[in-house]
Structure 1
Amino acid sequence: MVKNLYMLPEGLPEPVEDGACDHLQGLALPSVTRPATSGGSVDLSELPGTAVVFFYPMTGKPEQPPMRGWNKIPGARGCTTQCCGFRDRYPEFQALGVSVYGVSAQPLADQKEAVERLRLPYPLLNDTDLKLAEALELPLFDYDGHRYIKRITLLVEGGVIRQVYYPVFPPHLNPTDVLAQLRS
């Protein structure tokens, strides 16, 4: 079976608002340095200006078989479409002076492969040890013996969370929603 990571299948279960991110609005980002696919590391709390930080479970690889049951987890599927959505709208974020970062707990080597394969113009930050996710008390889920960060997008100004997008569904429209907020 061939999987298409660039299209969402019909009938995916929608994630529900469970209040797991209610505490984030107005919170200052903690000082947690994360390795970046662009080399070096990034401490999101030190970012000047406005930034979009989107957390996602993991990007898949086309050559790997489908993950059994992944599509049944509300909000799990769609990381590639979300990453590509931010890629495609990236010039609009740049024009507004907004930086973009993606964050996941998958290995840095997998993130670097995704940046290259998907031609992402923004860095992905590595949170394999979940230090950033835990410092922010982000919702997580377990699958096949691994912990993943649920899909959440933060609009950050001067290191303070100004807007929280949770749950995010469908993920490919998330960049459009964030741009609309930035322009309003």
Structure 2
Amino acid sequence: MNFEQLPEDIPVPEDDGACDHLTGIIIPKIILNATNSEEINIGNLHGYTVIYIYPMTGQPNIALPEGWDSIPGARGCTPQSCSFRDIHSDLIQYASIYGLSSQVTDYQFEAKSRLHLPFELLSDTNFLLKQKLSLPTFSHEGVERYKRVTLILKNNLIKKVFFPVFPPDENPTDVLNWLEQQ
């Protein structure tokens, strides 16, 4: 299975309004582990920051959960990450960037290394963003995961929200286009 390409027939997620409340919210102090072994307080970031939140990154030789491709918005984490990687040199002229999921840091470190990501991934295993910001999640096979959403912060203020994100591999270009207009 090639995680870097999206299947053509994946379902499109619908905007259920789950992120309508986020624009204009100040991010509180939330400290998360990063793949560089640092703790990042996302409530204390400076300038523009992109945080793209995704359900999970697949690993080679490990099957995705059964029925994963039929969940609207679930598939596409690796293509989204690779697209952020591919425009990173353009993006960092405007903003810093983090990927975020509920996966443990060791799992994320493997993905960061394998995909050659030039930015850090953050681990929110305790769903602090869900608790503090009411971010949307879904459950599949008894495991809770974040729905895909991209936040653009200016300092600790949410300035722009992309939700639903589809197709996920085009989201980085949408983010860059928005930042270029600011």
AA in 2 matched with 1:178: V
Count of equivalent residues: 181
Report what 2:168 is aligned to.
Answer: 171
> Matches of 1:66 and 1:79 in 2, distance apart?
12
C-alpha displacement at 1:145, in angstroms? 1.4
Runs of 5+ consecutive residues of structure 1 not aligned to the other structure = none
Query: Which residue identity is paired with 1:161?
Result: I
State the AA in 2 paired with 1:46: N
CA contact (8 A) 1:127 1:133 kept: no
SS in 1 for 2:57: coil
Matched, 1:15 2:10: no
The yes-or-no answer on 1:119 pairing with 2:108 is no
Is 1:33–1:41's contact at 8 Å kept on the other side of the alignment?
yes
Taking the TM superposition and a 5 Å limit, the aligned residue runs for 1:18-37 are 18-37=16-35
C-alpha deviation, 1:175, in angstroms? 0.5
What letter corresponds to residue 148 of structure 1 in structure 2? R
Where do residues 147-166 of structure 1 align in structure 2 (5 Å cutoff)? Answer: 147-166=144-163
The 3 A distance-change label for structure 1 pair 75 and 111 is: same
Deviation per CA, 1:46-77: give whole Å up to 9, x if none. 00100000100000012112421000000000
Identity %: 45
Residues in 1 aligned to 2:34 and 2:64: alpha-carbon distance in whole angstroms? 27
2:113, 2:174 → 1: CA distance?
26
CA contact 1:51–1:156 (8 Å) conserved in 2:
yes
Q: Give the secondary-structure state (helix, strand or coil) at the position aligned to 1:95.
A: coil
Q: Quote the residue 2:62 is aligned against.
A: 64
Structure 1 stretches of at least 4 aligned residues deviating more than 3 Å after TM superposition? none
Measured in 1, the distance between the counterparts of 2:128 and 2:175 equals: 25
Report the equivalent of 1:38: 36
Aligned residue for 1:63, secondary structure, equals coil
Deviations, residues 126-151 of structure 1 (Å, cap 9, x unaligned): 00111122211000000111100000
Match of 2:75 in 1: 77
Question: Which runs of 5 or more structure 2 residues have no equivalent in the other structure?
Answer: none
Q: TM-score, normalized by length of structure 1?
A: 0.96
SS in 2 for 1:23: coil
Hey, what's the Cα distance between the residues in 2 that align with 1:39 and 1:107?
12
Determine whether 1:130 maps to 2:127: yes
